[in-house]
Amino acid sequence: MNAPLTAIIALAVASLGGPALAEPLSTDRPDFVESSLTVGAGTFQIETSVAMERRDGFGHRPQQIATPTLLRLGFAENWEARLETDGSLHERADGQSPHVDGMGDLSLGLKYHLPAPGPADASMALLFHVDIPTGSQAFRGHGDRPSLRGVAEWELPYECSLGVMPGIALNEDDAGNDYVSGIAGVTFAHAWTPNWRSFVELASEELGSAGHGNTQFSFDTGLVWLVTDNLQLDTAAYAGLNHSTPDITVAIGLSARW
């Protein structure tokens, strides 16, 4: 049995036996729009998955398999520290090309949950991240890349919810020139039961400025199963809406907390 699968099984077993915390697990995956909630002081949470990306065009069928992982540690009532990475990466350009293996960059971050001014207002959060060029040569980005995102969520009638996430990022191109890009996402979710929910979403991981970056758009959908208050399983699909976005990405994820 390979190491990632063994680790995922171990996480699931450990979480099944853990004590329930004050509220059921709230995660930042599998949708692109982050949750507005933090994990809570003294709580550690891991959110991980296996994701396969496929792109067709120009006579090639590139494929990438990644293990995106987010670690979250609450150190105050409304604050958490975050470490995020695409994890182990395996990429093949087409059926004949040799594959490339490596590790993705690390991203260090903080999330702050803004106290709600009133019961009818949105639940909001701010996230600050810095992507650091720590990955393997084939997957390493250029320079430190800070970003700032804001999240707002509203509870709607009939067990529905709406979330929006605008943001801004500072990137560096191949020539070493800095440029600014946007981040945007809107998600709509419905809870079918206390343990099952689904979502649909429009997302842009990068809104490139003129002459820099690649604007990406995707339509995302997925299903989430809250196995226990401390353990979640999910599956999602992300369909690219323009030529700069992978045609299809599918993911199976697991999240757990202690």
Q: Which tens digit of pLDDT belongs to each residue from 110-132?
A: 999 998 766 667 899 999 999 99
Listed in order, strand segments (DSSP E) in the chain are 44-54, 63-66, 69-76, 79-85, 88-92, 100-103, 106-114, 123-132, 145-156, 160-164, 167-172, 178-193, 196-207, 218-228, 231-240, 248-257
Backbone angles phi, psi at 2, to 5 degrees: -75, 160
Cα separation, 9 vs 4, in Å, equals 9
Average pLDDT, the chain: 88
Residues 124, 131, 166, 70, CA torsion sign:
negative
pTM to 2 decimal places: 0.88
CA–CA gap between residue 45 and residue 6 (Å, rounded)? 18
When mean pLDDT is compared across 18-22, 23-27, 234-238, the lowest value belongs to 18-22
Direct distance between the N- and C-terminal alpha carbons of the chain, in angstroms, rounded to an integer: 25
Counting residues of the chain whose pLDDT is more than 90, the rounded percentage is: 71
- pLDDT at residue 244 greater than cutoff 50: yes
For 121-165, write each residue's pLDDT tens digit: 789 999 999 999 999 998 999 899 999 999 999 999 999 999 999
111 within 8 A of 79, measured Cβ to Cβ: yes
Cβ atoms of residues 127 and 148 within 8 Å: yes
pLDDT tens profile 70-110: 999 999 989 999 999 999 999 886 656 678 999 999 999 99
Q: Tokens 């398999």: give the residue.
A: 65
Residue 63 has a pLDDT of 84
| Assigned token pair, 193 | 């039961």
Pairing of strands 218-228, 231-240: antiparallel
Given a contact cutoff of 8 angstroms between Cβ atoms, the answer to whether 192 and 223 are in contact is no
Contact 137, 103 (CB under 8 A): no
pLDDT, position 192: 98
Q: What's the pLDDT at 59?
A: 46
